Amino acid sequence: MKTIFTLAFSASLVALTQSSALAADATRGKQVYNKVGCYQCHGYEGQGANTGPRLAPEPMAVEGLSAFLRNAASTTMPPYSEKVLSDADVADIHAYLSTIKKPPAGKSIPLLNNP
């Protein structure tokens, strides 16, 4: 009985996580990213800078991003509690970061390959 409950609970968590990821809004995520100032250290497209690491393309999993945002006190980045940045906001930011495309390879840019 306990095993069945555990399996049902786990399945509901997976479904909740998947539905939250599907409901994430990249357009809103870009707005939140800029509003809370992520761009100041990570660049407008998550490309990173000397003050913050690259976040995109290919961001870390939304769960990892959320955990890091909530517990960043041991780094130079300020922690963002749920009062400041809701879980929906984090999912939206992740959706935005996931839409950012990789830059072209240097070899495909003629100006960079002209001797």
Give the domain 23-102 fold: Cytochrome Bc1 Complex; Chain D, domain 2 (1.10.760)
Q: What is the mean pLDDT of the chain?
A: 84
**Domain coordinates in residue numbering, the chain:** 23-102
Q: Which of 25, 7, 97 is nearest to 54 (CA)?
A: 97
101 touches 91 (CB < 8 A): no
pTM for this entry:
0.74
The encoded tokens of residue 31 equal 């707005």
Using pLDDT thresholds of 50, 70 and 90, give the confidence band for residue 22: low
Torsion-angle region of 43 (φ positive above 0: left; ψ -120 to 50: alpha; else: beta): left
